[in-house]
Amino acid sequence: MEVYIIRHGQSTNNALMDDQTHRVKDPALTDVGQRQAQLVADYLHAQPNLVSMVRHKIDERDHEAFPQTITHVYSSAMHRAMQTARPIAAAFNLRVEVWPDLHEFGGIFLEEDGVVTGYGGMTRAQILAEFPDYILPDSITEAGWYDVNKKYEHFSESMARAIRVADTLRRRAQNENHADDQIVLVAHGGFIDILIKAFLHALPSDRFFLWHNNTAISRIDITKQGIVMLRYMNRISHLTPDMLT
């Protein structure tokens, strides 16, 4: 199994840099973020299918005969991630499957004068109005998908989610029917840091952070025996210097 972990494109909150006074609870992509999403989709679609090439012992020069084949595109339920996933899924004629566990650590919240308020995120109707072909789990309702009572999600809960996602994919890779899946996960910088550490059984630390630029790609392969291999991390070759955020 190949897992391509992609951070969302630049959001309006990202563009604020150090000025967080105009931060919103569930930001959309900026114009730059929209372009980044299309660039990463085009890049993925243009790559050769290395799994097929190796299996058929094909020379690298003949890669046009073996185009990349993504089998599933999963996205967090946060607005910026769902927007980023759209051109990727379109490039491979797939429907985006929303996986709430991929959301950013901390959840949906705003803090003002030391008071943290939790929000439910986009409701089922709101998501389907903007993304009518997306596949949603039953857990996304008209109350949204995030438990507002959590307010700011504790870091230990974020770690538990990451372990759950990594374990789900590891078990899936050992299933004969899914061993050759090529999966895209569209998630968030903080959660991707935790998720890769969960895959590698590395202890989380606030002194050691795996940085990802907007729409950067990291690839993890999982064998049928459950062995995890980190192929590369924070690949940004699809971005021109002016698109790097």
Residues 222, 235: Cα–Cα separation, whole Å:
19
pLDDT in tens, 37-82: 999 999 999 987 665 545 555 555 555 556 778 999 999 999 999 9
User: Residue 193: which domain range?
Assistant: 2-16+25-243
Give the percent of the chain with pLDDT over 70: 91
Confidence of residue 192 (pLDDT cuts 50, 70, 90): very high
3-state secondary structure the chain: CEEEEEECCCEHHHHCCCCCCCCCCCCCECHHHHHHHHHHHHHHHHCECHHHHHHCCCCHHHHHHCECCCCEEEECCCHHHHHHHHHHHHHCCCCEEECHHHCCCCCCEEEECCEEEECCCCCHHHHHHHCCCCECCCCCECCECCCHHHCCCCHHHHHHHHHHHHHHHHHHHCCCCCCCCEEEEEECHHHHHHHHHHHCCCCCCCCCCCCCCCCCEEEEEECCCCCEEEEEEEECCCCCHHHCC
pLDDT at 68: 77
pLDDT in tens, 210-234: 999 999 999 999 999 999 999 999 9
CATH assignment at residue 238 = 3.40.50.1240
Confidence of residue 102 (pLDDT cuts 50, 70, 90): very high
> Average pLDDT of the chain?
92
pLDDT in tens, 124-142: 999 999 999 999 999 999 9
pLDDT at 80: 98
Q: Which of 1-15, 63-77, 129-143, 189-203 has the lowest mean pLDDT?
A: 63-77
Q: Which residue has the higher pLDDT, 20 or 71?
A: 71
Number of domains making up the chain: 1
